[in-house]
Chains A and B, each alone.
Chain A
Amino acid sequence: MAAKIHIQEGTATYRKYRIAMWTCFIISLLLVAFAYVDVGTISIGSNKYNLSLIRLDKAIAFTIAILGLQVVVGYTGQIALGQSFFFGTGAYLSAWLVADHSWPFLMTLLIVIPSCFLIGMVLGLPALRIRGLYLALLTFGLAAVFPSLVKLDKLYTYTGGAGGKLTSNYKFVAPSWLPFDEVAQGLQKIPFLGGYFGDGPLSDREESRMWKFILFSIIAAICFWLVSNLIQSRPGRAMRAIRDNETSAATSGINLAATKTLSFGVASALGGVGGVVYVAEIGIASPDDFSSLLAIYLIVGLVVGGVGTLSGALIGGLVYALIPDWASSTQSISFLPQRWLQGPTGSLILGLLLIILTLFLPGGVVTGWRRVKKRFFQIDSATS
């Protein structure tokens, strides 16, 4: 067995390790972006699987929403099943501002974030009085009700009713000073792999997509950074204390009401941001995209990634954005009758993942990954 590499926190080696990890990550991100700026297809057997920036953008939207769930479920231990409500609220609010008032998408975040935060705090008030399953019930009900709320005739001018609100008139235009064409053509010169990066300079549409992807990634990165700081701050420690044992937390002097309210607010705000990214990507906000099924799928993402981890949100977002789609693209597997592959195999897989992971690997993919990493790297804390 290979010897472990020991790294001490706080030393120069540790800093180099972190920088190396992050650089790898950013470079891979850029490579993926350039490779899939147009729809890329992977073929396995007779099945074709699509991967594109469109999918990845959706993944980012879900990731941000799941990040919110990490805050309220993973770190504060409250069973909140209503994230789709805030996702949808953010989406519709943003869509309305963009479509009816010609706001640029990014600016709508200025409205969406505080609104969702406030709504989350207000709706979180019942959570102060009830716990556990009753809270789960309530939040699930909220999620279930969202599509009907949005379809109300009274709100038609704002929401576009059952048809939804179109925002596709808004175009994301990449600033001209960004060297997309140069980088793309540089990548195309790489021997062997160059072909993956397309042919010639990027078209306007492709540049727009690249730009969106980079923008959304930056938004996501900012969210991660903020949440990471929150977790390590005093309110964050209070949240974790509540998760571990609410009564002890209360007796240690933690203000349960304030912490929980903060937690709900942050989670809802993140849900809203995710919604904005979502509608910015697909160009329309329609009611049935934000049903209670979405709420359940976001939980799937939360659990598969790993409850209580930040990177789990990223895994979760990818899982939800890719698996149902790839499952329905699977037209034939040699040993399964074709009949079985039609129908909602995506949700079947997600449901099975949920059950299997909860049974065998409650920490999700991230925990499994960390265990693997531990075989090769050991990070010692600064005091050992």
Chain B
Amino acid sequence: MDLLLQRVFDAVTNGSTYALLAVAMVLIFKATTLINFAQGEQAMLGAFVVLQLWDWGIPMWGAVVIGMCFSGILAAFLERTLIRKFDPTDHLPLVIITLGLFLVINAIAAIIWRFDPKSFPELFPSGNAFAINNVRLSWYTIFAFTSCVIVLFVLQTLLTKTKIGLAFRAVSSNIESSRLSGIKIGTTLQFGWALAAAAGTLGASIYAANPVLQIEPSMMLRALILSVTAAALGGLDSLWGALIGGLTIGFVQSVVVQYIPFIPNEMSLSAAVIVLLIVLIFRPSGVLGTRAVERV
């Protein structure tokens, strides 16, 4: 029982970070029906920028904010120069571009910072909030989860209460009518990309701030697959779905996999992909999503 509870806490920890990356993917998918395969790498690059700034003496959370801004600006630049050149309904070239970005960003991060793992600043107080018997609930878990929920609330508010948020949702809903209403599509999408990148960077930073982990350039590949599954599970166009999806995947990883005897540990990634498979075949709109899926 203790072990189960501990595992549930682990699930919440991991799930929250997957959720943040999943949120980033959902943002872009909502507006453009594009899946940005480079999202993980953008987030990782942002986290490395944060690390570098901290190395140079900038206080932790300041570094995180600046890192998020950097990510956002870079993403806006990428959208303007690369993505906007293509017809949004033609998926193949766009997928290929994001794959190219995946390679390029990963390579640049590795060239600048090498592959040696480094220690990331501890963004949250270390130690445990409480420990009963063998169950430890660390401050990290509490803060990671809370940050995730806060980010979602902030995004929700941004999208529902601001003018640009309204524009973003309008573009997601009907792009032609948005044009006819005077909304500048390109600028609005750029905003979406920037927001997604910032959210992703925050997610990667929180992930890296885990006292038991270290940061290195290939950390996000696994996270990408897990968060894509989380996003699909929750519904590719639902923000809160991303949280549910993230927690579910975390849960599957930490709890389900442990308790079904014939699935060994290495399979946790495969378990996630199997979940993805099931979702895409039987309920492509996910748990909370609404978008009509491209069906044949």
Contact = CB atoms under 8 A, between A and B. Distances in A.
Interface of A: 73, 77, 79, 81, 126, 128-134, 136-138, 140-142, 144-145, 148-149, 151-153, 246, 256, 292, 296, 299-300, 303, 307, 339-340, 342-345, 347-348, 350-355, 358-359, 362
Contact of B111 (A137, A340, A350): A340
B107 A345 contact: yes
Contacts of B260: none
11 contacts: A73-B92, A79-B91, A81-B95, A133-B35, A136-B35, A144-B225, A144-B273, A152-B266, A296-B102, A342-B111, A348-B107
B93 A348 contact: no
Main secondary structure of the interface of A (DSSP, over half): helix
Contacts of B284: 130, 134
B267 A354 contact: no
Interface string B78-103: 00001001000001110111011111
B111 A246 contact: no
B93 A296 contact: no
Q: Which of A126, A134, A148 has most B Cβ within 10 Å?
A: A134
Interface stretch (B5-13, B141-149, B288-296): B288-296
B33 interface: yes
B107 A343 contact: yes
Contact of B82 (A256, A340, A355): A355
Interface string B16-56: 00000000000000000111010000000000000000000
Interface string B261-296: 000101101101100110011001000000001111
Contacts of B244: none
B106 interface: yes
Interface of B: 33-35, 37, 82, 85, 91-93, 95-97, 99-108, 110-111, 114-115, 221, 225, 228-229, 232, 264, 266-267, 269-270, 272-273, 276-277, 280-281, 284, 293-296
Main secondary structure of the interface of B (DSSP, over half): helix
A141 B273 CA distance: 6
B293 A130 contact: yes
A362 B111 CA distance: 28
A138 B276 contact: yes
B102 A134 contact: no
A74 B103 CA distance: 22
A152 B264 contact: yes
Contacts of B273: 141-142, 144-145
Contact of B280 (A81, A138, A362): A138
Contact of A345 (B111, B115, B264, B295): B111
A123 B246 CA distance: 26
B225 A358 contact: no
Contact of A343 (B33, B93, B110): B110
Given A148-B269, A152-B264, A140 B221 contact: no
Contacts of A340: 111
Given A73-B92, A358-B93, A344 B111 contact: yes
Nearest to B85: A359
Given A144-B225, A351-B101, 17 more contacts: A126-B277, A130-B294, A134-B284, A138-B280, A140-B228, A141-B228, A292-B225, A296-B103, A299-B96, A344-B107, A347-B106, A351-B102, A351-B103, A354-B103, A355-B101, A358-B96, A358-B100
A256 B270 CA distance: 30
Q: Which of A73, A129, A339 has most B Cβ within 10 Å?
A: A129
B33 A296 contact: no
B99 A348 contact: no
Contacts of B106: 344, 347, 351
Contacts of B272: 141
A262 B293 CA distance: 24
